[in-house]
Amino acid sequence: MRYAAARTLSMLRGPAAAAALAKGLQDPDASMRRVAATSLGQIQAPEGLAGLRAALADKDAGVRVEAARALGKFKDPAQSPALREALKDGDRAVRINAALSLARVNDPAGLPEALTCLGSGNPAERAMGAEILGMVGDAQTGLPALEKAFAAETDLGTKRVMDFGRGQLRARLGVKAPPPAKKPAAAVKKVPAAKVPAAKAPVKKAAPKAGQPK
């Protein structure tokens, strides 16, 4: 029931809704704190910013993930210091979401985390790494790493995200896409011409000598 109320508040928006949701960040139930953080990100009310920054230190990793994600939705560079601090979190999901939120305000502090994501066994993490690189990657390490990851990617959905990310990164860096590799022409086997046996000349019979019967 309380979760439904929190979601309803996220639809109402306004300072009163933000204040109520910020209070939800102090709830003893971690699930309720997660819902409150998610809802504050949806309404993007400035009244919720202080509570979300504080939630980055919550004892529950899920709450910290939602707080990092929610702060990114504000696209406010003033939140970068708190998000950079979250890059040191012991939970990988928190670090990845902090890196993504930093990328949304053009802060490349999360690039090392994004590069690590490309080698993850989790397709969702690889996709997030590509998304971050698309926004703030560089030409020296970001683009080559993304091109290599794209070539090796086997998950179709993740490959699409990587393709979009590398296109975004190339456009931002002013780098033209390489021309598509030409497929080598199939070798044509030369069939040797059939040898036609030479016609034998007719054997001429020797003319009979005089006095011999023909």
**For residue 44, what is the domain's CATH number?**
1.25.10.10
Task: Tell me which of 149 and 19 has the higher pLDDT.
Answer: 149
User: Residue 103 falls within a domain, yes or no?
Assistant: no
Residue entry with tokens 């080698």: 119
pLDDT tens-digit series, residues 75-113? 999 999 999 999 999 999 999 999 999 999 999 999 999
Contact 114, 129 (CB under 8 A): yes
At 5, the pLDDT band (50, 70, 90 cuts) reads very low
Asked if residue 120 has pLDDT above 80, the reply is yes
Q: What is the structure's pLDDT at 22?
A: 87
- What percentage of residues in the chain have a pLDDT greater than 90? 66
118 and 52 inside one domain: no
Q: What is the structure's pLDDT at 55?
A: 97
Residue by residue, DSSP assigns 88-100 as T-SSHHHHHHHHH
Domain boundary among 22, 56, 74: 74
67 and 6 inside one domain: yes
User: Residue 12 falls within a domain, yes or no?
Assistant: yes
At 1, the pLDDT band (50, 70, 90 cuts) reads very low
Q: What is the structure's pLDDT at 17?
A: 77
User: Residue 47 falls within a domain, yes or no?
Assistant: yes
4 and 56 inside one domain: yes
Residues 6+ apart with CB under 8 A from 129: 96, 113, 114, 115, 116, 117, 118, 120, 149
Q: How far apart are CA 137 and CA 149, in angstroms?
A: 14
- E strands, the chain, in order: none
* The total number of structural domains that make up the chain: 2
Q: How far apart are CA 154 and CA 193, in angstroms?
A: 47
User: Residue 205 falls within a domain, yes or no?
Assistant: no
1 and 56 inside one domain: yes
What average pLDDT does the chain have? Answer: 86
66 and 130 inside one domain: no
Structure tokens at 8: 């309803």
Domain boundary among 50, 74, 98: 74
Asked if residue 10 has pLDDT above 90, the reply is no
User: Residue 102 falls within a domain, yes or no?
Assistant: no
Average pLDDT over every residue of 115-121: 96
Q: What is the structure's pLDDT at 190?
A: 64
Collect contacts of 166-173 with beta carbons under 8 A, ≥24 apart.
166/130, 166/133, 166/134, 167/134, 168/134, 168/135, 169/133, 169/134, 169/137, 169/142, 169/143, 170/143, 172/134, 173/138, 173/139, 173/143
Rounded to two decimals, the pTM is 0.78
User: Residue 100 falls within a domain, yes or no?
Assistant: no
* Residue 65: domain span: 1-74
Average pLDDT over every residue of 12-21: 71
Q: What is the structure's pLDDT at 47?
A: 87
Q: What is the structure's pLDDT at 54?
A: 96
